[in-house]
Amino acid sequence: MERQVKDIVDNVESSIESGIEAFDRYGRPWMQRNRATLLAVGVAALVGLGAAVMISRRRRRRTLIARLHEARSTVGDRLERPISTIRSAAERMSR
């Protein structure tokens, strides 16, 4: 049993080492040759993702009236007394 485990571990280690060697031989020079292209693609992907997020946030936007009603109800729930109307507030200010 231990011999089989050792053979499997040796096989995996040699596969990993050969993969790393292949990357050093082929992958690293390719990445060095195409560094500017890879950088441009990465920046373009980030810009595209940012634009998609901004567009989706703008499309989901609720109307001003809906946002004001929600704000009024949440603030009103936190206060001990109900929020007065604009007309009554104006009357108090004019006194």
CB distance 43 to 35 below 8 Å: no
Q: How far apart are alpha carbons 33 and 71 in whole angstroms?
A: 56
Q: What is the pLDDT of residues 21-56, one digit of tens each?
A: 888 888 888 888 899 999 999 999 999 999 999 888
CB distance 84 to 93 below 8 Å: no
What is the domain range of residue 91? 62-95
Residue 2 lies in a domain: yes
- Same domain for 46 and 14? yes
- Report the predicted TM-score, pTM, of the whole model to 2 decimal places: 0.42
Rounded to the nearest angstrom, the gap between the alpha carbon of residue 41 and the centroid of all alpha carbons in its chain is 18
Residue 56 lies in a domain: no
Task: Classify the C-alpha dihedral 64-70-72-78 as positive or negative.
Answer: negative
Contact partners, residue 72, CB within 8 Å, separation at least 6? 83
